[in-house]
Amino acid sequence: MFFNRLSRIVQVGCKFSSAIKCYRPCALPAPKNLCHAASLNTPLFQISDDRIQKYLERLRLEYYALKVQEQRTKKDIQRMLLLSNVVEMYEQRKIIMDNLSSLKELKDDKDDEMVQLLKEEREAYGSILLRLDNEILDGILSMDDEEDYGSLIMEVTAGVGGQEAMLFARELFDMYCGYVEYKGWEVEMLQSEDTDIGGTRHATTIITGPDAYRYLKHEGGVHRVQRIPATEKSGRIHTSTVTVAIIPRPDDFQVDLKEKDLKIETKRASGAGGQHVNTTDSAVRIVHIPTGIAVECQTERSQQKNREIAKQKLIAKLTQIELESRFSSTQALKKSQVGQSLRNEKIRTYNYNQDRITDHRIEGGTAHNLKGFLEGGEQLDDMIEKLQRSQRRKQLMDIINRECEQ
């Protein structure tokens, strides 16, 4: 009898030891100031749910199908790397579940020592399982099944509100430039129309960097600002808007601007400018003959500088037209993002009187410290990560529900 009990204790202990060895916490990006994955474990997001299990099993099969391929594209390799952590944790979970099932076979044992050992091991397995479930959930929520792009075009345009909207457009543009620097990406200025008082009517840039499109695609839409303008004498709060459009840009995209396709005209600059106005032919107008698109520039005193700026403007317009023709959904995407720039179409509100930022698309999307937020650093990054996870939850439920219908 004693030796039989001893044999069972050793057997269970060996299974527990092997389970501990098989569990290796996988390196996942740690969420910053976000709700821990466990708080997302509502009935819709229990890893033990059959729908989630079916989804995880599909990911596992996809991973091994890619792994046995003799020839893999760059896209296949990126997908494998994306799947590997989740699949590894899912397989570790299956081992833990098998070991828990084995423990149930010994539940009727009456020996006190055995009962205590089984209780301790069930608690240990439960602790490992909870941590694994949280890590798996964190992993699948951080995945994005939508196609990624190496770079994007960002357009920031003043909407309703006149000069005040233009001033805030400049602040938003500077915020995104700060965010680009914070993330270590690259930015290339294509076009900017600035005002005399430091505002911006419209600015277009190309942003390039790892995951830049994934992070910034949710920034497209109407941004609303509520504050007392510097020119307001009665202290009344004004509401203005700025629109942001995000257009994906494929890695193989490049505009080929040939000199033979350009008709370049010069004329004397007009408007304010002191003694240099109307004395030299510094203003430049360029017509792109194949498309008929024309641009002008007279902001600089040098004709050469105006010529370079005009070419940049032309490249920006041709880039936008080419991308919109390449992606049939881009125009609809842009329209859905910017709408009609109306105040009630906002995705985010910047309230200066309350020192508050509220993103209207996510629960708990309110933050404070506007000055810090507009620097484009960690606070903006936190808000974007919340948006990513919120959108990913919706995307995940759509995928799971579609699979359940099949």
**pLDDT tens per residue across span 307-319:** 887 887 787 778 7
Looking at the domain that runs over 259-327, which CATH code has it been given?
3.30.160.20
pLDDT digits (tens, 9 = 90+) for 120-158: 888 888 888 888 988 888 787 777 656 667 788 899 999
**Contact predicate 348/221, CB 8 Å:** yes
Q: How many residues does the chain have?
A: 406
Task: Quote the CA–CA distance of 44 and 235 in Å, as a whole number.
Answer: 48
Distance between CA atoms of residues 252 and 119, nearest Å = 59
Mean pLDDT calculated for residue range 84-95: 92
Instruction: Tell me the mean pLDDT in the region 253-279.
Output: 71
Q: How far apart are CA 193 and CA 95, in angstroms?
A: 61
Instruction: Give me the helices (H) in 273-329, please.
Output: 303-326
Q: Which two tokens stand for residue 110?
A: 């009456």
Tokens of 93: 């979970």
Greatest Cα pair distance in the chain: 111
Contact predicate 170/198, CB 8 Å: yes
The percent of residues in the chain predicted with pLDDT above 90, rounded, is: 29
Tens-place pLDDT, residues 348-374:
999 999 999 999 998 888 999 999 999
Over the range 334-364, which residues count as b (16 or more CB within 10 Å of their CB) and which as e?
beebbbebebebbbbbbbeeeebbbbeebee
For domain 151-252+340-405, give its CATH number from 3.30.70.1660, 2.120.10.30, 3.90.700.10, 3.20.20.140: 3.30.70.1660
Cβ-proximal residues to 150 (8 Å cutoff; 6+ apart), any chain: 208, 213, 249, 250, 251
Tell me if 93 sits within 8 A of 132, measured CB to CB. Answer: yes
Which residues contact residue 17 at a Cβ distance below 8 angstroms, ignoring those fewer than 6 apart?
Answer: none
pLDDT recorded at residue 186: 95
Residues 275-283 have a mean pLDDT of 60
pLDDT in tens, 199-247: 999 998 889 998 898 899 899 999 999 999 877 777 789 999 999 988 8
Q: Report d(CA 199, CA 59) in Å as an integer.
A: 49
* DSSP-derived secondary structure for 243-259: EEEEEEE-TT------G
Q: Is the pLDDT of residue 391 over 90?
A: no
How much is the pLDDT for 100?
Answer: 84
The alpha-helical segments, DSSP class H, found in 105-159 are: 112-142
Amino acid at 294: A
Sequence spans of domains, the chain: 50-143, 151-252+340-405, 259-327
Written as one letter, the residue type at 234 is S
Higher-pLDDT residue of 364, 345:
364
Confirm if 44 and 155 have CB atoms less than 8 A apart: no
Q: Between residues 40 and 209, which one has the greater pLDDT?
A: 209
| Consecutive H or E run containing 189 | strand 186-194
